[in-house]
Amino acid sequence: MPGDAAPTSVHRTEALDGSDIRTFLIADVRGYTRFTQEHGDDAAASLAAAFAARVREVVEAFGGDLLELRGDEALAVFGSARQAIRGSVELQARFRAPDSSFPLGIGIGLDAGEAVPVAGGFRGGALNLAARLCGVAGPGEILASETVTSLARHVDGVRFRERRAVRLKGLERPVRVHEVLPETPLPPLPAPPKQPRPFSRRVVALGVLGLTVLAASLVAYGLTSGEAEGLPGLEENTVGLVDTDSNRLVAQVPLETPADSIATGAGSVWVSNALEGTVSRIDTHTLAVRTIDVGGSPVGLAFGAGSLWVANSEAREVAQIDPESAKVVQRIPVGNGPRGVAVGFDAVWVANSLDGTVSQIDPERS
């Protein structure tokens, strides 16, 4: 499970003993580690306490049992799949309410099945799959297994959207996943708190891009304004579109935060930001920016085999982003300190800086 702190609360309702079908809910605060690094242990402890209080209140209100809290992660069990789904939607609503004052989004995973009661909780495949689904859920997302949606069948005010099957660590076959969506849209995700940071780096990346509106153009990422090897000056924290015929800067797209790598593909420019744990997608036609929270420290990008591949040095993994949904579809463990990533020769190649190794990923079987 994502959390790494010792359990701070363990409780189990005796009525759930036996071999009944149970639905497990795992919720995790996205960006908690970075929040701790930037704001300190006291602020993180207050955030964890607020998270625990809201989860406990919602779980108990919907007839569930809060089994375990690990700082930024909570595990709950329900006797009803419908109640677990309703509770997960209410959790997202509570954390995304305009007056919630909770600065980070949460991801939720749900699975159902029989489980073995043990001291203080349960063990079983359903709990493990719920943890895996929570791990790939983005901020504000609820991912449920097909077992959960089949048991629930229909829940008033909620719809299920089937996602592409994903391969999850420890499972031989891809898993069919449904996203749980309330029919009444929830408030937008909270904007993560930002700390001012000084930067003095200049242009860090260039990528070739063919555009329909401008032929033979370059996309340049700039961290500071000023000239850089003959290119026009860029504003701080922007992506600039340069017409190579005239060497003129024809457009700038503000990102608000500095970035570490750039890639192009699927009609978009992709820019990683290790400090925020995000990838920004820029539409090459409209220049609209969409931010994708991948967590950890994304430092390397490559596009190929129909996906964007993100080297996450903090999480020791490569995240695969589906360009159609602009969401992480799976996370693939690699070596320590992955920084560089490339696609070629029918494989994804990842350079692990701390191990001095290169990992090879088969994109067809990953």
In the predicted model, is pLDDT for residue 112 greater than 90?
A: yes
Ordered structural domains, the chain, with CATH:
9-182 (3.30.70.1230), 205-361 (2.130.10.10)
In degrees and rounded to multiples of 5, residue 134 shows phi and psi of -60, -35
DSSP-derived letter for residue 16 is G
Q: What is the pLDDT of residue 219?
A: 47
Q: Locate tokens 């937008």: which residue?
A: 188
> Quick one: pLDDT band at residue 194, thresholds 50, 70, 90?
low
- Which pLDDT tens digit goes with each residue over 224-248? 334 444 444 566 777 877 766 666 6
- Which pLDDT tens digit goes with each residue over 249-276? 667 888 777 777 899 998 899 999 887 8
SS3 208: strand
What are the helix (H) ranges across 124-275? 125-136, 146-152
Residues in Cβ contact with 14 at an 8 Å cutoff, skipping those fewer than 6 apart? none
**CA atoms of 62 and 86, how far apart (whole Å):** 7
In the predicted model, is pLDDT for residue 4 greater than 50?
A: no
State the chain's mean pLDDT as an integer.
80
The answer to whether 122 and 113 have CB atoms below 8 angstroms apart is: no
Q: Which amino acid type is present at position 106?
A: I
Percent of the chain whose pLDDT exceeds 70: 78
**CA atoms of 197 and 141, how far apart (whole Å):** 29
Q: Which amino acid type is present at position 173?
A: R
Q: What is the pLDDT of residue 339?
A: 87
SS3 83: helix
Percent of the chain whose pLDDT exceeds 90: 41
**CA atoms of 185 and 190, how far apart (whole Å):** 15
> Quick one: pLDDT band at residue 199, thresholds 50, 70, 90?
very low
C-alpha closest to that of 137 among 280, 338, 325, 352: 325
User: For the CA atoms of 81, 294, 207, 366, what is the dihedral angle to 10 degrees?
Assistant: -60
- Which pLDDT tens digit goes with each residue over 147-187? 999 999 999 999 999 987 777 777 778 888 999 999 998 88
**CA atoms of 366 and 32, how far apart (whole Å):** 27
Instruction: Output 206 or 346, whichever has higher pLDDT.
Output: 346
